[in-house]
Amino acid sequence: MTVRVRFAPSPTGYLHIGAARSALFNWLFARQTGGKFLLRVEDTDAQRSTDESLRSIIAGLEWLGISDYDEEVVFQSANAEKHRAAALRLVEADKAYRDFTPKAERADTNVKQEIADRARKGANEGADHRSNSFRDLSLEESNRRAGAGEPFAVRLKVAREGKSSFEDIVYGPQERDYSEIEDLVLLRSGDVSPLYNLSVVVDDIEMGITHVIRGQDHLTNTHKQILIYDALGAGVPRFAHLPLILAPNKAKLSKRKHGEVVSLTTYRDRGFVPAAFRNYLALLGWAPPDDQEIMSLEEMIRKFSLEGVHRSNAIFNFSELDARQWTDQKALWMNAEYIRTMPLAELLPMVRAELEAEGLWKAEYETDARPWLEKTIDLIRQRFMTLKDFSGQGRAYFSDEFEYDDAAVAKNLKKETRLKELLPGLAASIEAVEPFNAETSEGALRAFSESAGVKAGLLINASRTALTGQAVGPSMFEIFEIIGRERSARRLRAAAQLV
């Protein structure tokens, strides 16, 4: 059996990181098993579905590197006729029935079911539906009334006794008494449009889906969906539900409550390396048997297993009160690790895009200054958390217009008034060295500090702030070499004004 899995987003908003994680797990499973990874856009809610949302979901999947769908993208709305036909087949087969309850009474229960479906509670919202008087209407009578134009909904005839059960790959055996499941609505009355559970099942059958991998919030829907598979006489796929991703206070992560931090494209826009975020996402609810955290894509594909997915919900640790912790610390750490260790050739285009976006890219970086650029990036990347740092903290390497960090100025320039004279002096002595590089500038600085009778550390720290605006950074002598003789001297003199 060839594995066939799908990611089935509803284009009604941004791509939630939980949904992105579902997409990734589907993708990993397909790639590991040599199966097919499909995309189905669940755009049946015409009011809430938007092109913009669809574009951002597609862009998010592309960014993560998992947009190599193995077949044409399926749009669920295009299949509405098939969904309707399936429901009517079930009516013919006595597995479903038309419910002619007049509009006034029906309005209430339909709305209730719709809300419940949307909230994906799959809750038991009315065993009273089981006493629906239309359940036992003869097919003849039902056809006659429908033929006469009487509006109806279609409901699945759920057995009165017994229970539904399935083995979830992650959560194990699941059971639910039929008595807890109402005769669920398959087609809405009035426009006879298909409801969520019906559409999902008919499409999954049509697409030959073998494994349904999705968020744990769909666990309770699954019982209803299995009833539909059974009624349609179709084989039931395997199910693997994934733990939720929760806020530190265990609340469900939502954009309304938690803002941009839950939206995948935020990570792209805030300077994440796609492979780093993908690696981080993979570890939300799963860990490889050897617990190795940083994995190449190949390793991830090889080690991934649905059996290794955890049941406990993952906590996304971030603080809305602290800008440095705007997202999970582990995500930031992972990103920094990637920036620090990935092949320079892969990092370069990303840095270039960032510098271009900030107006810091120069044509010569492609030609004469290429070696300088590579050296600089390799040097400064060691401490950076995101790609944004190349244009932020790293701005002084690429432009003479940079800002001095206030704390750095206070600590390294303002504390020692003698720096007012020392910095121009240091400027003069490094200007004189020949050739100008890390070693010779170190020699010049040390000789100068000795003759001035101050500690070299004082001048090193002051120089770092003078040349880069920052209090921390790479080795100071490397910085001299990278910034160059003239720019270094100029910045040392300029910094004397800040003392």
Residue spans of alpha helices (H) in 358-475:
370-380, 388-391, 395-398, 406-412, 419-431, 438-452, 456-468
Nearer to ligand GLU (CB atom), residue 13 or residue 474: 13
Sign of CA dihedral 115, 118, 124, 130: positive
Nearer to ligand GLU (CB atom), residue 119 or residue 472: 119
Detail the DSSP E strand segments found in 8-129: 36-41, 74-75, 96-99
Question: Smallest distance from the beta carbon of 188 to ligand GLU, in angstroms?
Answer: 18
CA dist., res. 99 & res. 130, Å (int): 12
Question: Smallest distance from the beta carbon of 167 to ligand GLU, in angstroms?
Answer: 18
Question: Smallest distance from the beta carbon of 111 to ligand GLU, in angstroms?
Answer: 20
Nearer to ligand GLU (CB atom), residue 61 or residue 200: 200
Question: Smallest distance from the beta carbon of 8 to ligand GLU, in angstroms?
Answer: 4
Residues that bind ligand GLU (CB under 6 A): 8-10, 42, 200, 212, 214, 218
Question: Smallest distance from the beta carbon of 10 to ligand GLU, in angstroms?
Answer: 4
Q: Can 257 be counted among the known catalytic residues? A: no
Rounded (10°) angle between helices 476-483 and 438-452: 120
- Which of 82, 252, 255, 411 is the catalytic position? 255
Nearer to ligand GLU (CB atom), residue 9 or residue 271: 9
Going by DSSP bridges, is the β-strand pair 153-156/185-187 parallel, antiparallel, or unpaired?
antiparallel
Q: How many CB atoms lie within 10 A of CB 342?
A: 15
Nearer to ligand GLU (CB atom), residue 200 or residue 419: 200
CA dist., res. 449 & res. 458, Å (int): 9
The helix/strand/coil state of 476 is helix
Phi-psi region of 305 (alpha: psi -120 to 50; beta: other; left: phi over 0): beta
From the number of C-beta atoms within 10 Å of its C-beta (0-12, 13-18, 19+), residue 196 rates as buried
Q: Please tell me what DSSP assigns to residue 23.
A: H
Catalytic residue positions, numbered: 255
